[in-house]
């Protein structure tokens, strides 16, 4: 029996659409692909930010580019010149529109909205059978970008929860040349809390309250702190809220979700897309989409996310353990990193492009005793963990 498609992509968000665009652009046309998305329409539900280390395919869609960024704590403040690798913002609406446009123009990729996928697809002979709200579909390959199940606290070492509001003030109170990357209001003992300010004009900014903590938080949990932050960072000017966004990102996944069989891969936020130390996923998703499309073009199966270099992973995990166990030290750690190392190195490292020398220089800015102590704790805990795993 002929399958309905060569490839079914489950979920048409950032990861599903990014792969869809790569396949739509392929010449000669790639496999016949159908993207199944539960939503019936796209809204401006998020903004993606990243450092521009090289030209990229979304240049035209960039809403704002900042040549400088500031990291502030009660004790110290650092402003970093990043004009060679500016911090850029891409809004969801133009991204979704670009993806839909490219996919609509292609002959081999279709996007179906309002097509919720039910449960885990079943292997039937050499095909996958996928139950959708519109009936069953079959395919040789599946890329599943849905969250595998509702998240559990234990799925990640830390969680990054945030709630942001884009506001327009009645007075010019923002400096649109400098992003407030991390503005730590106070050192806390249970989690790390800071504000993130993307100034879009002297009167307009996206202000977010972010927490790195042991469990995911809802937007409502952050609402009171956010209200105070908007007042403080807006210097008390009158304002109106234009839109809001919120999210929860895993930092250092501890659960790996298995794939149910051959020709099936997982991708997206909960399946390896999020960088452990930052939760950022957009650029990693773009690199994965390109690699997965290339694998398909060569006749191979779709692939999942690469885990990244071992040194980077080890540094991320150690850093997260230190932040988890000593959240009151976090403001100082971030200020040291950006203030004492060449910012170009830090930006490369946070963008997955760090060299061994970058890692060494960044490591040398951090308090040795604190990190050695955490390493020792990890080594003492290791035999127990190994016994448990055995």
The site for ligand FAD (CB under 6 A) is made up of: 10-16, 36-39, 46, 48-50, 116-117, 145-146, 245, 247, 249, 268-269, 273, 280-282, 285
Report in angstroms how near the CB of residue 170 gets to ligand FAD at its nearest.
26
| Residue 46 tokens, joined | 């998020």
Beta-bridge mates of residue 90: 48, 62
Nearer to ligand FAD, 265 or 336 (CB): 265
Report in angstroms how near the CB of residue 326 gets to ligand FAD at its nearest.
25
DSSP 348: H
Question: CA 186 to CA 179: how far, in whole Å?
Answer: 19
Nearer to ligand FAD, 106 or 145 (CB): 145
Q: In terms of C-beta density within 10 A (0-12 exposed, 13-18 middle, 19 or more buried), how is residue 15 classed?
A: buried
Report in angstroms how near the CB of residue 133 gets to ligand FAD at its nearest.
8
Report in angstroms how near the CB of residue 4 gets to ligand FAD at its nearest.
16
Contact yes or no for 156/186 (Cβ under 8 A): no
Inter-axis angle of helices 343-350 and 330-340, to 10 degrees? 120
The alpha-carbon radius of gyration of the chain (Å, integer) is: 22
How many residues are recorded in the chain? 390
Nearer to ligand FAD, 13 or 326 (CB): 13
Nearer to ligand FAD, 187 or 253 (CB): 253
Nearer to ligand FAD, 17 or 333 (CB): 17
- Provide the 10 A C-beta neighbour count for residue 231: 12
Nearer to ligand FAD, 13 or 86 (CB): 13
Nearer to ligand FAD, 247 or 367 (CB): 247
Burial call 202-217: b when 16+ CB within 10 Å, e when fewer: ebbbbbbbbbbbebbb
Report in angstroms how near the CB of residue 171 gets to ligand FAD at its nearest.
27
Report in angstroms how near the CB of residue 115 gets to ligand FAD at its nearest.
6
Nearer to ligand FAD, 4 or 245 (CB): 245
Pinpoint the alpha helices (H) of 58-161: 92-105
Q: In terms of C-beta density within 10 A (0-12 exposed, 13-18 middle, 19 or more buried), how is residue 264 classed?
A: buried
Question: CA 45 to CA 376: how far, in whole Å?
Answer: 42
Strand runs (DSSP E) across 95-223, as ranges? 109-113, 117-124, 127-132, 135-144, 156-169, 178-184, 192-199, 204-213
Report in angstroms how near the CB of residue 369 gets to ligand FAD at its nearest.
32
Closest residue to ligand FAD in the complex (CB): 13
Report in angstroms how near the CB of residue 290 gets to ligand FAD at its nearest.
15
Report in angstroms how near the CB of residue 50 gets to ligand FAD at its nearest.
6
Q: In terms of C-beta density within 10 A (0-12 exposed, 13-18 middle, 19 or more buried), how is residue 187 classed?
A: middle
Q: In terms of C-beta density within 10 A (0-12 exposed, 13-18 middle, 19 or more buried), how is residue 8 classed?
A: buried
Nearer to ligand FAD, 164 or 366 (CB): 164
């Amino acid at each position: 029996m002929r399958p309905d498609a060569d490839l079914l992509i489950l979920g048409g968000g950032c990861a599903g659409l990014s792969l869809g665009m790569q396949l739509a652009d392929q010449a000669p046309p790639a496999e016949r692909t159908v993207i199944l998305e539960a939503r019936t329409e796209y809204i401006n539900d998020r903004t993606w930010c990243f450092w521009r280390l090289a030209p990229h395919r979304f240049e035209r869609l960039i809403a704002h580019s900042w040549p400088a960024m500031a990291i502030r704590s009660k004790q110290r403040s650092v402003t970093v010149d990043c004009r060679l690798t500016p911090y850029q913002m891409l809004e969801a609406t133009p991204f979704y529109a670009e993806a839909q446009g490219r996919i609509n123009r292609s002959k081999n990729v279709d996007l179906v909205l309002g097509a919720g996928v039910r449960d885990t697809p079943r292997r039937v002979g050499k095909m996958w059978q996928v139950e959708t709200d519109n009936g069953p579909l079959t395919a040789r390959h599946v890329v599943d970008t849905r969250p595998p199940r509702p998240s559990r606290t234990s799925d990640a070492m830390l969680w990054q929860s945030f709630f942001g509001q884009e506001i327009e003030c009645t007075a010019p109170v923002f400096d649109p040349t400098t992003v407030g990357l991390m503005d730590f209001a106070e050192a806390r003992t249970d989690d790390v809390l800071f504000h993130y300010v993307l100034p879009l004009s002297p009167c307009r900014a996206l202000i977010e309250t972010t927490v790195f903590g042991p469990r995911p938080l809802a937007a409502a949990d952050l609402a009171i702190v956010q209200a105070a932050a908007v007042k403080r960072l807006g210097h008390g000017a009158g304002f109106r809220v234009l839109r809001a966004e919120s999210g929860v990102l895993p930092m250092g996944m501890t659960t790996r979700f298995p794939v149910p069989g051959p020709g099936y891969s997982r991708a997206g936020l909960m399946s390896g897309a999020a960088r452990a130390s930052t939760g950022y996923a957009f650029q990693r998703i773009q690199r994965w989409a390109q690699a997965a499309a290339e694998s398909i073009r060569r006749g191979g199966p779709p692939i999942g996310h690469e885990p990244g270099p071992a040194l980077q992973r080890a540094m991320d995990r150690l850093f997260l353990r230190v932040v988890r166990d000593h959240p009151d030290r976090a403001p100082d750690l971030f200020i040291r990193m950006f203030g004492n190392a060449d910012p170009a190195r830090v930006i490369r490292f946070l963008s997955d492009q760090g060299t061994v020398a970058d890692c060494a220089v960044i490591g040398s800015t951090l308090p040795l005793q604190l990190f050695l102590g955490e390493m020792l704790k990890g080594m003492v805990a290791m035999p127990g963990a190994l016994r448990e795993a055995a």
